Amino acid sequence: MIKKLSALNFVSAVSFVISSVSLLFIPLLQLDKGISKVGILIALFFWIGLLCGLFLQIYLALKCKQLNLHSKTKTQRISLVIFVVSFVVLLILILLKSKNSIMVVGCLFCALLSLESCAIIKRKGCLK
């Protein structure tokens, strides 16, 4: 049972990485003439990856609670610190109305990936 849950945690990690990496392609889009097929494809990758990862993490959290498994790791704090720093920088860039879209998207990527990795690390700690 633990191996199956660990495999689901890995699938969740892959889903989150696909979702986060799709954000990095946003600055490359030509949005002058509307949203292209590539833009729709990037949005699909983002949302499908995010939703799959979230549903799997919710399922894993419920199973860990049901099996009375608790996280034994403290390394998720590193991910939380990276999230907070990335999110604060992202807010500052948004408030300053930064024209540097690569910087804004990069901070959004770091914030999202670090928050998602925190959940994955926590489940990994539960499933040891």
Asked if 116 and 80 count as a contact pair (C-beta separation under 8 A), the reply is no
Q: Where are the domains of the chain?
A: 2-126
Tens digits of pLDDT across the chain (128 residues)? 778 888 888 998 899 899 988 888 887 777 677 777 888 888 899 899 989 988 998 898 888 888 777 776 677 788 888 888 988 988 888 888 877 777 888 888 888 888 888 888 887 777 77
Q: Please state the pTM of the whole predicted model.
A: 0.77
The DSSP code for 34 is S
d(CA 75, CA 22): 26
